[in-house]
Amino acid sequence: MASRNSNRPNVILILTDDQGCWAMGCAGNQEIHTPNLDRLASTGMRFENFFCTSPVCSPARASLLTGRIPSQHGVHDWIKAGDTIAKYEPEGNGKLIEYLKDQPGYTDYLAAAGYTCGISGKWHLGDSHHPQKSFAFWEVHAKGGGPYYNAPMIREGNVYEEPRYVTDFITDNALRFLQQKNSGAPFYLSVHYTAPHSPWQREQHPAELFDDYYRNCPFKSVPHNLHPPEWVHHLGIPVKDAGTRRMYLSGYYAAVTAMDANVGRLLDWLELKNLRENTFICFTSDNGMNMGHHGLYGKGNATFPLNMFEESVKVPFIVSHPGHLPQGLLCTELLSHYDFMPTLLDYLGIDNPEAARLPGRSFAGLLRGNPSGEHQEQVVVYDEYGPVRMVRTRDWKYIHRYPYGPHELYNLTNDPREEFNLVNVPQYQYSLSEMRHRLKAWFARYVDPLLDGTHEPVMGYGQLGLAGPAGKGEKGFAGIQA
């Protein structure tokens, strides 16, 4: 099952979980071992300034799939209930929730255009028991995370615990989809790893990888001994001693390296079958990750109030299609996951009926070496996480926390580490006003008032039901837990 027609390329999206844009050798990290991601980048384009739409997994994934921002699709936090049965989600009382019901994803349009769509790995957008979004092959994780051995997986609609290392098993299922015998129809495959999401303890990862990092890596590639910002009231992952830091970093780096080896398995299979040049591959992560950066460990909900630091919102992004796209190219344009759906459909020549309603714009011309004027001029990205919103240009970043503050303004040219908040400095009030206007105007254009995240009590501890009127009467979001 595969297309060999150059006008109908196959597509593979490799999506990791909580991988910082800094956690690749090709991004300049000399301590982490990612030879296959480096190989992918050398045969394609790596994007240095790519951003998620929300710095936490479920809303980011929903945006990637639908092209909508959280205040359009209604997923504002990681899904805590509605994925599976009560044994695995006691908060949900066994109720399955399809969070993106009646919202088209790009896979729906690919399937309508003749693509056979498959997914292996993390879904985490509700009701993992039943295939959604035109996926004909559905081998998914039952939840959003969990152990790397004995992970809860779905098989024929039921939850079971898979004894094999889950990263390897996700690849096994992906290869099983690729090996299906079928016509020459093109395929689309989502390979969604849970790596390098926690847990990071030694028993969770191949011992030889963990031990090598633990014994031999000085971890100079990540900051140490930084203090969290003074506005932080709560840390999601407190790390109070050097031993815990070394253990967590060893597990994190080991998870990335094990995942990288599995990316190599996919590339090797494509090359063996002479399909590499007729397969468009995209590699990215759902959100970024702090591993000591800003004194934090975690993503947007590493802190309360929720944060929008660069390490939380920037993601790795690599595309490769040898013979069709430039190779070994570094792109510095500011782009976002909400641009992915328009770009993919444009690149494949498939109509996008949602185009007028979506915030993203295609950068397919940029891939082909013909940059679009709109993206050259715009160079602005936006993020949201519940009531926290961000606007980012090349030089400036503004973060607005609607119900309580504090707000933040950074000159990223002079302060790339976001150490000096200029929001109350008199000489920067014009820049503050300009950025605030950009933020309000853009969200006013795209927000669905019924699903507006600024009206939802999102605290970073999980979503328990549908947002807006559809979730009325339910406890929609979890609060801070002791």
Per-residue model confidence (pLDDT) at position 1: 64
End-to-end CA distance of the chain: 51
What's CA 467's distance to the chain center, in Å? 21
For the chain, the domains span 10-378
Provide the pLDDT confidence category of residue 181 given band limits of 50, 70 and 90. Answer: low
Nearest by Cα to 3 from 254, 200, 186, 221: 186
Is 80 exceeded by the pLDDT of residue 262?
yes
pLDDT digits (tens, 9 = 90+) for 140-165: 999 999 999 999 999 999 999 999 99
In single-letter form, the type of residue at position 59 comes to P
pLDDT of residue 85: 77
Cα 467 to Cα 77, 78, 122, 130, 481: the distances in Å are 10, 12, 22, 21, 21
What's CA 446's distance to the chain center, in Å? 21
Per-residue pLDDT tens over the stretch 203-247: 999 999 999 999 999 999 999 999 999 999 999 999 999 999 999
Q: Give the model confidence (pLDDT) of 278-313 as tens digits.
A: 999 999 999 999 999 999 999 999 999 999 999 999
pLDDT for the residue 482 = 29
Q: Cα–Cα distance between 89 and 253 in angstroms, integer?
A: 29
Read off the pLDDT of residues 313-325 as tens digits, 9 standing for 90 and up.
999 999 999 999 9
Residue 259: is its pLDDT beyond 60?
yes
Out of 251-265, 360-374, 423-437, 451-465, which region has the weakest mean confidence (pLDDT)? 360-374
Q: How much of the chain, in percent, has pLDDT values that exceed 70?
A: 94
**Other Cβ atoms closer than 10 A to 345:** 22
Distance CA 166, CA 163 (A): 8
pLDDT score for 2: 80
Mean pLDDT of the chain: 94
**pTM to 2 decimal places:** 0.96
Instruction: Please give the C-alpha separations between residue 169 and each of 100, 105, 118, 140, 255, in angstroms, as whole numbers.
Output: 26, 26, 15, 11, 14
Per the CATH hierarchy, to which homologous superfamily does domain 10-378 belong? Alkaline Phosphatase, subunit A (3.40.720.10)
